[in-house]
Structure 1
Amino acid sequence: MFPDFLLLRSNELRALQLDHNEILSLPDTISSFKNLVTLDISANNMTQLSSELVKLHNLKTFIARNNCFDTDSLPKDFGLLRSLEVLHLGGNNFIDMPAQITELPSLRCLYMGGNKISHIGGNIKDFSKLEILYLGGNCLVEIPAEIGYLQKLTALVLCDNQIQSLPPTLIHLQSLRSLSLHNNQISTLPTALVSLNIVELSLRNNPLVVKFVQDLVYNPPTLLELSGRCVKVENLPYSKQELPSNLMQYLDSAKHCVNPKCKGMHPTIILVTLTAHFLSDVFISGVYFSSHVEQVKFVDFCGKYKLPLLQYLCSPSCSTVNPVSESESEDSEDSAKERMRRVLLG
């Protein structure tokens, strides 16, 4: 219950700070504070929100971090808070993003870090005005392609999750300036990142950053793959009347090596994929099916630092087309260390 002296001034108050007060439930009389702009109920061990909360039509900032809220704790008509611009629900027990949140038409900043969120639905695209999205410290493995709809997003925090890859639709986030990805399981990055004008980028403690200092692992191609490479490189004709459907599909799945000096190379592939594939002197060059070598190439990123992007080469010799002297190799190693440092600091 709110004390009487507070209720008597309910129409005058613009901000109400109730954090760290052991308030287990928000009284229904909260609706009396009709002109409230900011409400903070953090660290009270609350489990449920009163439906009267949605009557605060002037509320712009609602902070409810470090409680015990989950998806069922929010009122079903939570989306009626049409003036709400900043919502902080970090440090609670959410396992997914409540649908009611996506119904908030004016939401600009959403903080849901330190929860247990393992899945984000496609309805994230409804955050048309969102500028800051904080989802660090959850259980996310992937990010939906619909993230590309958030074209006003300037800061995206996805650190401390289990994310393995990012969708290529990130290319649509042309307003994005800050991207936090540290402490994940990312081994590849979409090439779209190169076209974004990101000012702050954090990649430390991801397999991608560590991988480029490790030895390359290469499994030699099978006889089937070698035969397929011959057919594709030499442009030998084939049709469904001559080959079974499984072999037709196999041949059609060939991927081109992006090494510009590799036989059969299509220059546009470099621009589109920024990936590569290794060639050996004893192997047919130009294409590969499943047998390839991985390496990381540093790509200049907005003139600020080098961004490591995973490349695939059809054989190891593609990585040694331009041999360097011992001194050049040492300089290259020093340069790689410096790039690594700059990426980690990103």
Structure 2
Amino acid sequence: MANNLVIRALKANSKSFDLSSKKMTQVPKSVARLTHVLILYLNNNYLTTLPVELQTLQSLTELNLGNNSLEEIPSVLRYLNSLKKLYLFGNHITRLSPEVLEGLHHLTLLNLNHNRITVLPPEIKSLSNIETLSLLDNQLEELPVEIGFLKKMVEINLTNNKLARLPKQIYSLSQLDRLYLARNNLSELPEGVIGLMKLRVLDVAGNRLSMFPVDFQFLTLKELLCEGNPFVKSELMESVQAVEVLSLKELSARRILAEDKSRFGVVHKALSYHPGLSLLLADWGSCSLCLQPFLTTWLECVRFVNLRKDMKMRSSQTIPVRVQLCSYKCFNKSGHSYYGVASV
């Protein structure tokens, strides 16, 4: 039957070819003759691999292999240089072949939902044109830092995985519009969220978040889903500490960081000759009250942000956003709305 369909498609010069739901365990090699086809549907079958002959499909831009029995991405796909959309949902895939990923650099959409993937290899960075990446319902425990190379990314769906943390490089995705992270094991989001200035939809429901990262309120979100997290509560308690003793390292670092603000100063010029010191100072922060820099010693506080009032969203929900103050001296000043975080 499949061969007859191939003959008909050849005569009709069809741009799409549908072999979905044919109960196939193998793709007929005759499909390789359809060199003019742009879209190929092979979903809802019992395929475990693809014949190498399919590398002749150099015009193919969309391939649907969803709901089959694949345990890895077929190696022949690395030769399909025109492929832009690839659907692999509902298979038994446990790993992504680095060699295949390196051949899919024109891909704009990759759907790997409902598989058994535990790790994304560093070669994920080869998908330099990817705009939509979906790994809903897998077994991912972490993301590689190379995710930050996917500069054209618009949507990432990582719902229902086992992620305990996110790399801060995810905030390099300046075009990201939708980020779905529901039902993972996230206890925090990395600092630097302000890098996602085009983000409109964020779903972090069903995680373990106690608060959102610094400057979260400056995002221009349209939708935030965050139910099912153990957020900190607003309970007034007096501070039992008025001042702290900073280490010599911290005092020195704060002085250097303050002097380094002047791009024409002696300290800024001198740091270029001490790359080790520059690396040590790279993770500095800024006090939300006095705006002075600090390195490793700060007071963790929280500000309660109303989504409607502070972020111009429809919801009137109030969420906790992390704030960092440089000292108890700042914390004990009057006139601010920051709460210290305490165990009760």
Calculate the TM-score normalised by the size of structure 1: 0.68
Give matches, 1:2-151, under 5 Å.
2-4=2-4, 6-10=6-10, 12-71=13-72, 74-75=74-75, 77-99=76-98, 100-151=100-151
Give, as a single letter, the amino acid of the residue that structure 1 aligns with 2:232.
V
What is the CA–CA distance in structure 1 between the aligned matches of 2:286 and 2:200, rounded to whole Å? 32
- For 1:163, the equivalent position in structure 2 comes to 163
- Confirm or deny: 8 A CA contact 2:284 2:293 kept in the other structure: no
- For 1:202, the equivalent position in structure 2 comes to 203
Give, as a single letter, the amino acid of the residue that structure 1 aligns with 2:116.
K
How far residue 212 of structure 1 moved from its aligned partner, in angstroms, is 2.2
- Confirm or deny: 8 A CA contact 2:130 2:152 kept in the other structure: yes
- For 1:153, the equivalent position in structure 2 comes to 153
> Relative to structure 1, is the Cα distance of residues 185 and 84 closer, same or farther in structure 2, using a 3 angstrom cutoff?
same
What is the CA–CA distance in structure 2 between the aligned matches of 1:234 and 1:144, rounded to whole Å? 34
What is the CA–CA distance in structure 1 between the aligned matches of 2:303 and 2:94, rounded to whole Å? 35
Given candidates 281, 293, 301, the residue that maps to 1:268 is: 293
> Relative to structure 1, is the Cα distance of residues 159 and 55 closer, same or farther in structure 2, using a 3 angstrom cutoff?
same
> Relative to structure 1, is the Cα distance of residues 205 and 16 closer, same or farther in structure 2, using a 3 angstrom cutoff?
same
Q: For structure 2, which runs of at least 5 residues remain unmatched after alignment?
A: 210-225, 236-243, 254-280, 340-344
Deviations 1:234-289 (A, max 9, x none): 99xxxxxxxxxxxxxxxx9x99894637xxxx6235xxx9xxxxxxxxxxxxx749
How far residue 19 of structure 1 moved from its aligned partner, in angstroms, is 1.6
Identity %, equivalent residues: 23
- For 1:221, the equivalent position in structure 2 comes to none
What is the CA–CA distance in structure 1 between the aligned matches of 2:108 and 2:249, rounded to whole Å? 55
- Confirm or deny: 8 A CA contact 1:211 1:296 kept in the other structure: no
Q: For structure 1, which runs of at least 5 residues remain unmatched after alignment?
A: 217-225, 236-251, 274-286, 333-346
Deviations 1:100-123 (A, max 9, x none): 133123211111111111101111
- Confirm or deny: 8 A CA contact 1:59 1:84 kept in the other structure: yes
Given candidates 189, 203, 212, the residue that maps to 2:231 is: 212
- Confirm or deny: 8 A CA contact 1:188 1:310 kept in the other structure: no
- Confirm or deny: 8 A CA contact 2:142 2:164 kept in the other structure: yes
Give, as a single letter, the amino acid of the residue that structure 2 aligns with 1:268.
P
Calculate the TM-score normalised by the size of structure 2: 0.68
SS of corresponding position for 1:207? coil
SS of corresponding position for 2:175? coil
**Which structure has greater helix proportion?**
1
How far residue 309 of structure 1 moved from its aligned partner, in angstroms, is 4.4
- For 1:187, the equivalent position in structure 2 comes to 187
> Relative to structure 1, is the Cα distance of residues 321 and 191 closer, same or farther in structure 2, using a 3 angstrom cutoff?
same
Q: How many residues align?
A: 283
SS of corresponding position for 1:10? helix
What is the CA–CA distance in structure 2 between the aligned matches of 1:211 and 1:315, rounded to whole Å? 27
What is the CA–CA distance in structure 1 between the aligned matches of 2:250 and 2:3, rounded to whole Å? 81
Deviations 1:277-333 (A, max 9, x none): xxxxxxxxxx749xx767576598994558754456799998776589xxx99xx9x
- Confirm or deny: 8 A CA contact 2:35 2:56 kept in the other structure: yes
Question: Is the deviation greater in 9-18 or in 176-185?
Answer: 9-18
Give matches, 1:172-183, under 5 Å.
172-183=172-183
What is the CA–CA distance in structure 2 between the aligned matches of 1:318 and 1:31, rounded to whole Å? 70
How far residue 199 of structure 1 moved from its aligned partner, in angstroms, is 1.1
Deviations 1:44-84 (A, max 9, x none): 1211111122111111100011111012x613x42110111
- Confirm or deny: 8 A CA contact 1:257 1:288 kept in the other structure: no
How far residue 214 of structure 1 moved from its aligned partner, in angstroms, is 4.9
What is the CA–CA distance in structure 2 between the aligned matches of 1:161 and 1:123, rounded to whole Å? 20
What is the CA–CA distance in structure 2 between the aligned matches of 1:308 and 1:143, rounded to whole Å? 25
How far residue 86 of structure 1 moved from its aligned partner, in angstroms, is 0.2
